[in-house]
Amino acid sequence: EVQLVESGGGLVQPGGSLRLSCAASGFTFSSYWMSWVRQAPGKGLEWVANIKQDGSEKYYVDSVKGRFTISRDNAKNSLYLQMNSLRAEDTAVYYCARDQSYGDYDYWGQGTLVTVSS
């Protein structure tokens, strides 16, 4: 059974940092692009970043470029999102998702809540 389990969310002050993790199981993690998608409270979904199977390519939405870094460890079947210089507008539930092919997110985690507030 495919499982994606996010962790690392919490309350952080503006300007602070947080590292999210996503533990994958039940499939060959190294064979898939992986993505982070977020959802602000009461708002819609927003694609945040993705990473190629071997980590050689990474892409970001403009609003997080230079602040967030996506990475993966295929030996540990884990996906990460390092978030720096956090802003109030980064407050959201962050989901990791498996990309079956070109944006077909066929499996999602349960999400982890990040709250940026003083």
Partner 1 sequence: QSALTQPASVSGSPGQSITISCTGTSSDVGSYNLVSWYQQHPGKAPKLMIYEVSKRPSGVSNRFSGSKSGNTASLTISGLQAEDEADYYCCSYAGSSTFVFGTGTKVTVL
Instruction: Convert 55-82 to b/e letters by CB count within 10 Å (16 or more is b).
Output: eeeeebeeebeeebbbebeeeebbbbbe
Non-local (6+) Cβ contacts of 103 within 8 A are none
Is 115 a binder of partner 1 (CB under 8 A)? no
| Residue 73 interacting with partner 1 (CB under 8 A) | no
Query: Does 103 engage in binding with partner 1 (CB under 8 A)?
Result: yes
Cα separation, 74 vs 47, in Å, equals 22
- Find the binder of partner 1 among 57, 85, 87, 117 (CB under 8 A): 57
Report if residue 109 touches partner 1, rule: CB under 8 A.
yes
Q: Which of 41, 54, 62, 75 binds partner 1 (CB under 8 A)?
A: 62
CA distance 61 to 55: 17
Q: Which of 13, 25, 100, 117 binds partner 1 (CB under 8 A)?
A: 100
Q: How far apart are CA 66 and CA 19, in angstroms?
A: 15
Options 61, 78, 84, 113; binder of partner 1; rule CB under 8 A: 61
Binding site for partner 1 (CB under 8 A): 35, 37, 44-47, 50, 57, 59, 61-62, 95, 100-106, 108-111
